[in-house]
Amino acid sequence: MIAEIGHYALVLALGLALIQSIVPVIGARRRDDTLMGVASTTALAQFAFVAVAFGALTACYVSSDFSVANVFENSHSAMPLIYKFTSVWGNHEGSMLLWVLILSLFGAAVAAFGSNLPATLKANVLAVQSWIASAFYLFILITSNPFLRLAQAPYEGRDLNPILQDMGLAIHPPLLYLGYVGFSISFSFAIAALIEGRIDAAWARWVRPWTLAAWMCLTLGIAMGSYWAYYELGWGGFWFWDPVENASLMPWIAGTALLHSAVVMEKRNALKVWTILLAILTFSLSLIGTFLVRSGVLTSVHTFASDPTRGVFILGILVLFIGGGLTLYAWRAPMLKQGGLFAPISREGALVFNNLFLTAACATVFTGTLYPLALEALTGEKISVGAPFFDLTFGPLFIPLLLMVPFGPLMPWKRGDLLGVAQRLLGAAAVAVIAIAVVFAATSGGPVLAPFGIGLAVFVMAGAVTDLVERSGVMRMPFRTALKRTQGLPRSAFGTAVAHFGLGVSLIGIVCASTWGSEAIVSVKPNATVSLQSYDLTFDGMVSRQGPNYRELVAKFTVREGGVVIGTMEPSKRSFPSRQSSTTEAALLTRGASQLYLSLGDPNEDGSIAIRLYHKPLVLLIWLGALVMFLGGALSLSDRRLRVGAPKPARNAGKPVMQPAE
Amino acid sequence: MTRKQRRLVLIGGSLGVLALAAVLVLSALKDSIVFFNSPTDVVEKHVAPGTRIRLGGLVKPGTVQRGDNLAVRFEVTDGNRAIAVNYKGILPDLFREGQGVITEGTLEPGGTFKADSVLAKHDEKYMPKEVADALKKQGHWKDDYEQKK
């Protein structure tokens, strides 16, 4: 019964979405408030119905109702409760349901919090949002219905893929989807602007908080996924340039570019046409990501199972929205009014620089991800494009970008003075040079490029600090004045500095962990000791334990540093009888921001066991930096200007908010 | 500067960055991609020793031998040809005889394959797509695999 309620609710949501797709657009054309008002109501109701559908599926999982095929395929009665919740989206059908849940959540949020939007814009945005929603409801109902029943209910489920039985599954996909799907709002705003044929600085101000929120979630989602892969896969790597990872990285890069170009549009009313294009591209990349992951074109843990009809359906959605969006853009964009002028050396110029390099970097990731697919389709030749490719393309494009990061915020709008800014960054540059020298001295004989990487990261961080110091005037003015100025600074100024600082933090982590990490892959006998760096690990022996739905073989290690016990590590191998499969659970020992990483290989007959031991210096900074970036975004989001959202600069208070472009 | 000049600077800059990206991509594609080969491909295409390739197929049952210091030797087959693979290190959880595997490394002059990575796959039901295609090509594909997938 519950599954049928869920199914029915989803069908109703589709019905509502179809109404919302058409009625508000007509309303906006006729300036009919009643028709436009329909959109808010249906958007909220849509969310309610999808939430019912999602709740119904969750209820089926929690009660282990194996008569529902989806639950039977992906759950087990002995599974801990938390995994019964998370396995709702640990499979294709359920994860698509989560996708539309978040899509409708964003639609409802625009309906609820968009009261300061012009009525026609709001109606059009919600309508476009509903076009996307309709397409995905149809996709779920036709090809991926999670509520299908089995004729005969089995006694026991097939269990969730063991590798997904982890807290990571509780956090990673929802955050990632919040990011992916959040960009749909930017897309809807862009399409609505193109439909209306007008766009101005106010538009950018409305779009920015949504883009920022989506970007923040995506940042955390990617970082979380990376950390999960790091500890779960047992290889100690934090980024594999796997196509699925790239699928999430591309919208992130494009979204970062969009955030920056929207600033230019908001402040200077320039780059309008470009910002619209970026908004379309960012969501297109989210859709391509969904396609790559969901269609089964790629095979990986994220694909779950593949079915050609789904691939074709998603490809259809992809062509419809990307093709449609770009066609509309090509048709309407030339009618948009061009924005303000600026000199190449200026804040705008710096942000254009940022956009150029970000889009170019995004294009290289796109090429590296899709080239193997294209080549195989054309020639049948199978290739793999891995880390070396991205190191050679993505890396060189990111270096100038990172170098410019401290310059941007210090540059004045309209026309800047590169030399003046450079002078103000002398302190930051000096700190960076010292950092390079220190690292060089400390790691003599090591890789040559790595100290420069650290220097670059330090420059980015010191630059962020310089930005705040300059703005607050701490060094130039009496303390009291500076304090006042600091209090008067908009939160978004802090947000920028904090987010840029976070970028530097991540970079330090990436450089350190990938350059100065060390490893030992050996076979150890009981009571033998393995040494790595300053750590000695003694293998105390193996014990066997019974988990809720698995058996695990745990190896116990005592870790000493300089003869003093600093902890124990208990990596294990779990075997899941229901799927006849096993996972390796790595053990982590955190020392400051560095980690010892221990994972198990196969046990031998003589009682010894193969181990893989890594020392990862400062590896935690990678994800900590992402967290700092998230916080920077949150600070910016809490800026009064964005929250209030009403774009009424004092000078133009008398003029209408939206002006026709021509 | 006039509007026109500014636009020129902007367009010139954009084209410059794009050209840079294109050059980087093309040079990287030349040097850093790895081709996938089945054992039959390796024999028939005369893959030169020292070229970095991916070799995929099934782990031939009964061929896995473990040596000292985590050395492992096994044969990868596509049903037609088999190639011996030497690897040193820890094998992924789902490495089993008769299962699909992808290894990456170089061919030694003697015809054995020296792998430096054996790809960990996430799912016991998972058959790497490349391996599945290679098996189909050799006519050794069993529907059994499809069900597993």
Average pLDDT score over chain A: 89
How far is A179 from B33, CA to CA, in rounded Å? 31
Asked if the model's pLDDT at residue A355 lies above 90, the reply is: yes
Q: Is the pLDDT of residue A660 over 50?
A: no
Confidence of residue B142 (pLDDT cuts 50, 70, 90): low
Instruction: For residue A366, give the chain B residue with the closest CA.
Output: B25
List Cα–Cα distances, A447 to A236, A456, A458, B120, in angstroms. 20, 15, 18, 29
pLDDT at A354: 94
A117-131, A494-508, A635-649: segment of lowest average pLDDT: A635-649
Cβ separation B24–A396 shorter than 8 A: yes
| Cα–Cα distance, A260 to A79 (Å, whole number) | 45
B18-47 pLDDT per residue, tens: 999 999 999 988 888 888 888 988 888 888
Q: Taking 80 as the threshold, does the pLDDT of residue B137 lie above it? A: no
Residue A198's pLDDT band (cuts 50, 70, 90): confident
Q: What 3-state class would DSSP assign to B58? A: strand
- Structure-model confidence comparison of residues A407 and A297, the more confident one: A407
Chain B nearest-CA residue for A367 = B25
pLDDT in tens, A524-548: 999 999 999 899 999 999 999 998 8
Task: Find the length of chain A.
Answer: 662
**pLDDT level of residue B49 (50, 70, 90 thresholds):** confident
Judging contacts by C-beta atoms under 8 Å, the chain B residues touching residue A299 are 126, 128-129
| pLDDT surpasses 80 at B140 | no
Using a CB-CB cut-off of 8 Å, the residues of chain B touching A364 are: 21, 24-25
For residue B117, the model assigns a pLDDT of 86
Residue B122 has its nearest CB partner, among A163, A343, A363, at A163
At residue A58's C-alpha, the angle toward residues A53 and A63, to 5°, is 130
- pLDDT value at A653 more than 50: no
Which is more confidently placed, A428 or A299?
A428
- A85-141 pLDDT, tens digit per residue, is 999 998 889 999 999 999 999 999 999 998 888 999 999 999 999 999 999 999 999
Choose the closest CB to B33 out of A384, A391, A580. A384
pLDDT tens-digit profile of A411-465?
A: 988 888 889 899 999 999 999 999 999 999 888 777 888 999 999 999 999 999 9
Scan residues 587-646 of A and list those with Cβ closer than 8 Å to B: 599, 601-602, 604, 610-612
Task: Check B10 against A386: CB less than 8 A apart.
Answer: no
Contacts with B, A 264-303, CB within 8 Å: 299-301
- Looking at the predicted structure, is the pLDDT value of residue A305 above 60? no
Count CA atoms closer than 13 A to A491's CA, side-chain side. 13
Q: Establish if A8 touches chain B: CB-CB under 8 angstroms.
A: no
Whether A485 shows a pLDDT value over 50: the answer reads yes
Residue B120 binned pLDDT confidence (cut-offs 50, 70, 90): low
Give the model's confidence band at A70: pLDDT under 50 very low, under 70 low, under 90 confident, else very high.
very high
The pLDDT, as a whole number, for residue B121 is 56
Q: Is the CB of A610 less than 8 angstroms away from the CB of B129?
A: no
| A625 vs A464: CA distance, rounded Å | 13
DSSP3 helix / strand / coil % (chain A, rounded to 5): 65, 10, 25
A367/B contact by beta carbon, under 8 A: yes
User: Does the distance separating the beta carbons of A579 and B120 come in below 8 Å?
Assistant: no
d(CA A574, CA A546): 9
> Furthest-apart CA pair in chain B: how many Å?
77
What are the C-alpha distances in Å from A165 to residues A294, A548, A549?
20, 12, 10
pLDDT at residue A158, as a whole number: 86
Q: Is the per-residue pLDDT at A303 higher than 50?
A: no
The pLDDT value recorded for residue A602 is: 81
Nearest by CB: B35 against A343, A382, A392: A382
